[in-house]
Structure 1
Amino acid sequence: MSASDNFGTLRVTTHRGGDDLLSAGLGLRGLSGAPAPFAHPAAPTPAELRRRAIQSNWKGIADLGPLGGFGTVYGSVPDVPGREFMAFARLAGAKASHRILVQVPDAFDRAKRCLVVSASPGTRGVYGSIAVAGAWGLPRGCAVAYTDKGAGSGYFDSADGSGVALDGTRAKAGEVPLEFEPTGVAARAGIAVKHAHSGDNPEADWGRHVLQAARFGLAMLDEAFPDDAPFTPANTRIIATGLSNGGGAVLRAAGEDTEGLLTAVVALAPNIYVEGHGRPFYDYATEAAIFLPAALAAPPFDGLPFARVGGAQPPAWALRCAALRAHGRLSAMLPAAQGEEALALLRASGWHDEALAVGASSASLDLWRAVTVAYASAYLRRPCGDMPCGYSYRPQHTGGMAGPVDAMIRAAWWADGSGTPPGAGIALAGGSDVSMDPTLPGNLCLRDLWTGQDTDAQRLREAVQVTAASLPREDLPVFVVHGAQDGLIPVGFSSDPYVKWLRAAGRSPVYWKVPHAQHFDAFLAFPDFGDRHVPLLPFGHAALDRAWAHVAEGRALPEDAAVRDTRPRGPGALTAAALALPGA
């Protein structure tokens, strides 16, 4: 390990006999079912929390529904017994720790030593990438190293000074080391979230997080198999893979891997930014949060899921049009014309119609605002109780009153939380007014942090600038797999310019742009929405197959693929013909 690596107490657990590494004994049926129960809801055991965390992260990433094809057309959830090695880690210079995990299957292939390293998508906890990295690597006899990359659901409650211990249970500050333990937080400051409030701008260190996880993985293989040690990059193939923010993290690691740790990189729908190319996520996300709800009032969105409900236009779109006109952001008089005007603004800034149509889901679910609030706080290194634009995270009491159910919800935060409230009993408060469009003021404030000229705006842009990617070494195989209809991280702002930049610099990435695939496979369970798309996950697993064949068997790298024969799933169950995966 590097001298700069700082790991806390190691927790080693064994998972066999109905409690395996890949599904905690739930299997495919259990993963897709109701939330795994707790015997005592206000005091779940570490094993119960782990099982529920694995389940919630599977369901948050993969389409496990009856029409989705998982387990029949692609993918499986076999029983994988083995051991887990977990610790709190810290990067050199960081204020807060993060969680890191290595899963070592009993059937680890010592003849073909393989370590898969992955960063969680979005701001999910350490099991966030289990459907991507674990599902591919563990059944093949690979060890899998995960990092939450400075995010995760180790929420700290300022009201009682409690956070999340290494085993997932809640504990008071000072009793045991906590996943996130901010200092100097007032008792009424609300809920402290690691990504938003650590003071570290974790995104700047995504690449370092992945490389640290790789080193931790090698060290834990030494621990697991001392007779076969040492495990090094010279004798162990290390494949980095991730989805969304995790995909961006492994590409960042590819550009920062001066040690030659990585053997290959496979990035799915990566949130990646190249200086002078494409657009940073915060830029286009704050823009979409303001103008996309208005654009959805335009006729081109008639009949599209999330843009229309029961064939009718939700009132929120017309209200956003009127509010933007009142703020001087639109000039047309009628909602349809205002919608067309907003649509024209988005098209002029680089949005393609395919991304806008699917982006309706993020607008309808208010994802743009939820995500950019956390990013703004992280970029500006704001603590809990002093978030930008007046936002805060607060407990969402049932019926508006605190009661016994709150203890049960709080106890499950680590397992159920996505790392970005609202959700799991936490509300996003502030940034609003009492108008007919109450969230617009906060969205305008977040946008002004990108377009403005005051000190905070300058600091935020500087914080975004240090998240730009660097070039990977010339001989590193890099696969990029992205849905052509991604509405959250559009290919035109991310993968397209990144791949073009690599090629201009003499690199040879493999780029699969998948028609009819979008960002959230889990959203394919929504009626009508899933009919129009195919999942991205099977293409990621196929790319991992090809990467492994190249590094382990010497097979040639595949060509780019537009995956031309892929077609929408339709109203029935997914078929292999609809996927049309690139040939082996």
Structure 2
Amino acid sequence: MRRAAAAAAALLVVAAVPAAAQPGGEAGTAGHCASMSRLKVPGAERQERSCLDELTTAGTVASGHTDTADWAGLTPAALPVPDGVPGIQIDGYFPDTSRGNTNHGWNHDAQFVIRLPDRWNGGLVVAGSPGVREQYANDRAIGDWVLSRGYAFAATDKGNTGAAFHRDGAAPGDAIAEWNTRVTELTRAARAVVGQRYHRPPSTTLATGMSNGGYLVRWQLENHPELYSGGVDWEGTLWRTRGPHLLTFLPPALRAYPAYAAGGEGAERAHREMTAAGFPTGSEFLWPFHHQYYWDLTQRIYREELDPGYDGALEAGTPFCAPGSPACDSDYDYGSRPRSVHQAVAKIALTGRIGRPLITLHGTLDVLLPIGQGSDVYAEMVRAAGRGHLFRYYRVEGGTHVDSLYDAFPDRLRPLTPCHRSAFTALEGWLGRGVQPPPSRTLPRPGAADPESLLTRCRLTPDTA
């Protein structure tokens, strides 16, 4: 449990060890990398091209073309890793003024990675990083699998990284708003590079990502549907001007959880307050870990980004402060904050007005982004916007926010990685052959499934096994 907890805790605040990536030389690049020197990423300030025998983590870990710290804790330990994907990798960055991303010793944000497999299926997958991680965060959960299916793959660090991401930008909300523009920027650039490499544009461009990366999928399909064929949103963060969002459900948890954990006569009332805030009955076994690693830090750094005036001269408040103490984030009340705070959230808010097919999946035991305060609400927003025909929503019973916790609780949880792959495959059929995905539904956790089956299978139809 301690090993899984330590790994999973990196989701929001990973301080990545710089990858020791070495650029591929121009010499010896005949054959599958013969065109490498001609590839230019439009708008990039720096790019380094590498000719690799293996683009998946089966090879990039050893070659230094990924950063294992960046994707630590996001997948089950036993998740199979595909291999046999030679091709070209381009690492680089776009012009930016912030310097939180230390990968490659560049100390420069707006870093990206583009991978171009030799055996290309005609498609491009674009992803933004979850949490405040960097550009390699999706390598194991998403990149390996889509590369093995023949897709080109591009990912971005979103333009600012780490627990101090809120220092970026000129005004509240700017740092998160930059995440959206960086994904748009990378998508346009990656589409151009794909055209250079394969002499034709991608036939499909798909957006996908988890957590904050899922939020980015939603925003892109709402605001730039012309760039994409569709997307898969994996437990995306919800930002909505009037709520609910992180700053409405985390403060009640920070107030109530200590009383619940202490037991005694106040525990029952505290439990009611937790469930009223959106943390479902049955998820209690996950609360201690999330209280220790996620809730407090998440509340403070996102509140600092959107409402820096709340704690005055302090930066991101006081960790684990007691309710009633000055400017304590446990007492934060979004509804009573000034209009300027709500305007900051409006910069990044979602509407539900998607312009391309979108599949959303979310675990019912997610206690960082509770499903009832997130994807359930977004699903209603999409329907209210009249876009329900473009949408499918799968609630995954037993899924939680990070799949590494499945290793600690295999008898209670279910990894979401196989469900993401099933959703992605369903999107392919929807776009490519006009096969409608199964109706939106809750996917029951198979009671008798063995661990290997849970790691590799997640059927979207009612006969899930």
What's the TM-score, normalizing by structure 1? 0.63
Separation of aligned partners in 2, 1:443 and 1:138 = 50
Answer whether contact 1:449 1:460 (CA < 8 A) is retained: no
Provide the residue aligned with 2:115 in structure 1.
103
Tell me, what secondary structure is at the counterpart of 1:521?
coil
1:99-151 per-position Cα deviation (integer Å, ceiling 9, x unaligned): 12211112123xxx200011111111101112333123101111011111123
- The Cα shift of 1:497 comes to 0.9
Answer whether contact 2:132 2:160 (CA < 8 A) is retained: yes
Separation of aligned partners in 2, 1:452 and 1:516 = 32
Matching of residue 64 in structure 1 with residue 56 in structure 2: no
1:468-490 per-position Cα deviation (integer Å, ceiling 9, x unaligned): 1133445x111000111111111
Matching of residue 218 in structure 1 with residue 191 in structure 2: yes
- The Cα shift of 1:555 comes to 2.0
Tell me, what secondary structure is at the counterpart of 1:531?
coil
Provide the residue aligned with 1:431 in structure 2.
318
For residues 513-524 of structure 1, the aligned pairs below 5 Å read 513-524=395-406
Provide the residue aligned with 1:177 in structure 2.
none
- The Cα shift of 1:194 comes to 5.6
The match for 1:202 among 158, 175, 186 is 175
Code of the aligned partner of 1:445 = C
Query: Greater Rg, structure 1 or structure 2?
Result: 1
Separation of aligned partners in 1, 2:237 and 2:186 = 19
Separation of aligned partners in 1, 2:157 and 2:136 = 8
The match for 1:359 among 287, 297, 322 is 287
Separation of aligned partners in 2, 1:118 and 1:100 = 10
Matching of residue 262 in structure 1 with residue 228 in structure 2: yes
The match for 2:363 among 476, 483, 504 is 483
Separation of aligned partners in 2, 1:518 and 1:563 = 13
The match for 1:279 among 223, 244, 247 is 244
- The Cα shift of 1:216 comes to 1.6
The match for 1:468 among 349, 357, 373 is 349
- The Cα shift of 1:491 comes to 0.9
- The Cα shift of 1:337 comes to 1.8
1:548-583 per-position Cα deviation (integer Å, ceiling 9, x unaligned): 1221233223322322363386xx734359955225
Answer whether contact 1:289 1:443 (CA < 8 A) is retained: no
The match for 2:267 among 307, 317, 339 is 339
**RMSD (Å) for aligned C-alpha atoms:** 3.4
Code of the aligned partner of 1:464 = V
Provide the residue aligned with 1:157 in structure 2.
none
- The Cα shift of 1:79 comes to 3.0
- The Cα shift of 1:58 comes to 4.0
- The Cα shift of 1:248 comes to 0.9
Answer whether contact 2:443 2:460 (CA < 8 A) is retained: yes
Residues 560 and 92 of structure 1, relative CA distance in 2, 3 Å threshold? farther
For residues 165-564 of structure 1, the aligned pairs below 5 Å read 195-199=165-169, 201-225=174-198, 228-229=199-200, 231=201, 236-257=203-224, 260-276=226-242, 279-295=244-260, 297=261, 318=262, 335-355=263-283, 357-363=285-291, 365-380=292-307, 390-391=314-315, 431=318, 445-451=328-334, 459-474=340-355, 476-508=356-388, 509-526=391-408, 529-564=409-444
Code of the aligned partner of 2:110 = H
Code of the aligned partner of 2:168 = S
Code of the aligned partner of 1:339 = A
Tell me, what secondary structure is at the counterpart of 1:87?
strand
What's the TM-score, normalizing by structure 2? 0.78
Answer whether contact 1:240 1:250 (CA < 8 A) is retained: yes
Code of the aligned partner of 1:520 = V
Q: Which has the higher contact order (CA 8 A, sep 6+)?
A: 1
Residues 452 and 261 of structure 1, relative CA distance in 2, 3 Å threshold? closer
Residues 374 and 337 of structure 1, relative CA distance in 2, 3 Å threshold? same
Percent of matched pairs sharing the same residue: 23
- The Cα shift of 1:77 comes to 2.0
Tell me, what secondary structure is at the counterpart of 1:213?
helix
Tell me, what secondary structure is at the counterpart of 1:60?
coil
Structure 1, unpaired ranges of 5+ = 37-46, 154-192, 298-317, 319-334, 393-429
Separation of aligned partners in 2, 1:355 and 1:121 = 22
1:295-349 per-position Cα deviation (integer Å, ceiling 9, x unaligned): 2x3xxxxxxxxxxxxxxxxxxxx2xxxxxxxxxxxxxxxx422222222223334
Separation of aligned partners in 1, 2:87 and 2:165 = 30
- The Cα shift of 1:494 comes to 0.7
Residues 137 and 442 of structure 1, relative CA distance in 2, 3 Å threshold? farther
- The Cα shift of 1:355 comes to 4.7
